[in-house]
Every structure is written in C-alpha cells, then in structure tokens.
C-alpha cells in the first residue's frame, strides 16, 4: 500500500521553539498521510535566516523525534532554495504578472483599504500604474518589492474541514508580494514552489493560514503547478482560551516533557482534537490505526492539560 497514499508534510518556521499548536498540526498532517500508507515530509521554512537560526530547526527536529515522528526524506531548508524560487519568479515575470512596488510601509497604510478580515490590508495597486520612467526614477532612492497582479474574479476551493472557501483576490487581498524589498522571497511563493516540487498532495496546517490559500492556488495556476488537497485545522487554545504562540515560551516540550511522557503528550493532543476518545497515553502507530478526519472539530480546541501544567496551577 506504501506509495499509494497521499504525500503530506509539516513545514514549521523555526523562529522559536515548537509549541503544542505546531505539534497538533504535525500530528494531524502525519496521521492523515500515514493512515493512507502515504509519505510524510518535513520542510524547514527558514526564509528569513536571522530569525530562524539552525539551532532552532535542529531543536524542532529533536522535539518531533522525541514524540516519535519520522519523515521520509532529508528535510528541505527554504534558505537553501533561492535558485528554485528565482526560476519561479522569472516564469511569472515572463508572463507579465509581476511589477516592482516602491511603497513604504507608511504609504501602504495610508492608501490601503482594510478588508473584511480587518487585520490584512488590501493593496491599492498604486505602483501597478507607474510608467517605466517613473519606475527608474523611484528605483534611484528605493529598492522595490515585487508584487504579482491578481484578477478581479472569484477563486474557490474545498477545504477538507472548513468546506467551500471563496475569495476575490483583487477585492480581498490585492496584488501581493512575492519578493520583499530586502530581497527575501515571499512565503506564498516559496510554499507553492516547494509543495509542488516535493510532490506534496495534501497540506494540513492551522486555520490561521486559510486566508493565504487562495493566493497560493492562484500562483499554482500561473506557474502550471498542481493544487494539493488543503485541510486547515482548528487553533489550539490554552485552558484560558488563549491561542498558543511561540512567543509565549510556555507549553513547549521542555516544560511538557518534565511532566509527561511522549505518549501522554500525543494522547492528550489526540484527545483534544477528537482523534482519541479518552485522555490516555497513545503511540503514533496506534493513532494511525484509528485516525478519522470526521472526528476532528472545526471550532478551536482547548487543550486538556494535566493539572500541574494549567496556568492556574499553583
Ligand atoms: N511555516 C508556516 C508556519 O510555521 C506554515 C506554512 C504552511 O504550512 O504552509 O506557520
């Protein structure tokens, strides 16, 4: 059956220690792939190397191994793939899909209309209108970012958990950045290129990234790349209902492993996510056998932490 299933992946950005939200994502991606006899890949999303030192990538892998995860190929480091992203950018450029954007942060804020989601701003498209002469003039004082033009039309996909998602890129997001003015490649571009070149057929990740998916599908279409199946998963909340984040510095594996075995951590996560019916230790092999997406909820999940690890613990 091996090879017949999906190819899944876990793609952490190691700018801090993995927390239980990241591990929940790794767990569901892993169980989904392995329960079909499929492959599981690891990709280190260190596009911004100073923010993502190798030591944190090594720590992430150590944490994953501690819990029993394995992956099928050596991990891919995005920091080593500039040539691949350059090629994709040239392909987009040859289609006339790109333009340089000289807007400063302040200009972006001043001209942008907040979209329905309000945290994201819709780019006004100001720099799309510049003439060649204006571009040359502005390039004297500022290094541009590179944006991709988006169409004013609906883009739809079916998420494995959240169902049909529809977005109009022009209205909801605007032309977006594929290369920053400091030269770093955009997340959307790198993810799309890497998922396709690694043969990933299923992307499991937090629902905080759901709104990026239409942009990624749009890039896949421009680049002639296949669209994987997407399953966005609920966010993990602590016992006070707050979203877990790397910067909290708590509930990472140093704290957890003092109080719990790897199987107890996996069991607690699997129980919190509906995969396991009771809160008890479990191995990955056992969870692979019982895994069923239909039991995973769409509403955000409160972790069922043992007493000693709760925030209100003395
Ligand atoms: N690197 C992203 C993160 O750590 C995940 C990207 C993805 O799964 O597509 O949040």
Tens of pLDDT along 247-300?
Answer: 555 678 888 888 899 999 999 999 999 999 999 999 999 999 999 999 999 999
Determine contact, residues 203/251, Cβ cutoff 8 Å: no
Render the burial of 23-34: b for 16+ CB within 10 Å, e for the rest.
bbbbbbbbbbbb
Specify the DSSP class assigned to residue 228: P
SS3 (DSSP) at 307: helix
Tell me how far the alpha carbon of residue 51 lies from the centroid of ligand 1, in angstroms.
Answer: 15
Given a cut of 90, whether residue 30 has pLDDT beyond it is: yes
Alpha-carbon distance of 109 to 57, in angstroms, equals 34
Ligand 1 centre from 197 Cα, in Å? 17
Greater pLDDT, 46 or 310: 46
Distance between CA 172 and CA 113 in Å, rounded?
10
Q: Is the pLDDT of residue 114 over 60?
A: no
Rounded to the nearest angstrom, the distance between the alpha carbon of 13 and the centre of ligand 1 is 6
* 267 CA to centre of ligand 1 in angstroms: 23
Instruction: Answer whether 283's CB lies under 8 Å from 69's CB.
Output: no
Share of the chain above pLDDT 70, in %: 91
Q: What whole-number distance in Å separates Cα of residue 46 and Cα of residue 117?
A: 27
Percentage of residues of the chain with pLDDT beyond 90: 79
CA 216 to ligand 1: nearest atom: 9
Residue 306 binned pLDDT confidence (cut-offs 50, 70, 90): confident
Least confident of 16-20, 53-57, 194-198, 244-248: 244-248
Instruction: Give the pLDDT of residue 239.
Output: 77
Question: Which atom belonging to ligand 1 lies closest to the Cα atom of 191?
Answer: 9
pLDDT band, very low/low/confident/very high, at 163 (cuts 50, 70, 90): very high
Q: How far is the CA of 6 from the centre of ligand 1 (A)?
A: 19
Q: Which helix (H) or strand (E) holds 145?
A: strand 145-148
Atom of ligand 1 nearest to the CA of 25: 8
Question: Is the model's pLDDT at 4 over the cut of 80?
Answer: no
Pocket test for ligand 1, best of 8, 10, 11, 220 (most atoms within 8 A of CB): 11
Ligand 1 mutation pick, 16, 17, 45, 46, max ligand atoms within 8 A of CB? 45
Asked whether the beta carbons of 266 and 282 are under 8 A apart, the reply is: yes
């Amino acid at each position: 059956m091996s090879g017949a299933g999906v190819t899944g992946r876990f793609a952490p950005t190691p700018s801090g220690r993995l927390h239980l939200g990241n591990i929940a994502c790794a767990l569901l991606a892993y169980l989904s792939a392995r329960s079909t006899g499929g492959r599981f890949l690891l990709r280190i999303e260190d596009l911004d190397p100073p923010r993502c030192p190798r030591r944190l990538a090594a720590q992430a892998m150590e944490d994953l191994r501690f819990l029993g995860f394995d992956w099928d190929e050596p991990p891919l480091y995005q920091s080593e793939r500039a040539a691949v992203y350059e090629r994709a950018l040239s392909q987009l450029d040859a289609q006339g899909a790109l333009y340089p954007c000289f807007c400063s942060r302040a200009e972006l804020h001043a001209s942008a209309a907040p979209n329905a989601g309000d945290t994201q701003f819709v780019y006004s498209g100001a720099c799309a209108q510049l003439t060649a002469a204006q571009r040359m003039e502005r390039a004297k004082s500022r290094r541009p970012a590179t944006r991709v033009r988006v169409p004013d039309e609906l883009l739809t996909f079916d998420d494995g958990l959240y169902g049909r998602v529809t977005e109009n890129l022009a209205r909801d997001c605007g032309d977006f950045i594929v290369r920053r003015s400091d030269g770093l490649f955009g997340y959307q571009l790198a993810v799309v290129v890497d998922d396709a070149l690694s043969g990933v057929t299923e992307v499991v990740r937090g629902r905080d990234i759901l709104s990026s998916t239409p942009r990624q599908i749009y890039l896949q279409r421009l680049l002639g790349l296949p669209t994987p199946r997407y399953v966005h998963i609920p966010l993990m909340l602590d016992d006070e209902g707050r979203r877990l984040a790397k910067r909290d510095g708590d509930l990472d594996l140093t704290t957890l492993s003092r109080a719990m075995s790897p199987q107890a951590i996996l069991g607690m996560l699997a129980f919190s996510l509906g995969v396991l019916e009771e809160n008890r230790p479990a191995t990955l092999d056992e969870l692979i056998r019982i895994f069923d997406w239909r039991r995973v909820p769409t509403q955000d999940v409160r972790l069922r932490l043992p007493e000693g690890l709760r925030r209100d613990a003395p």
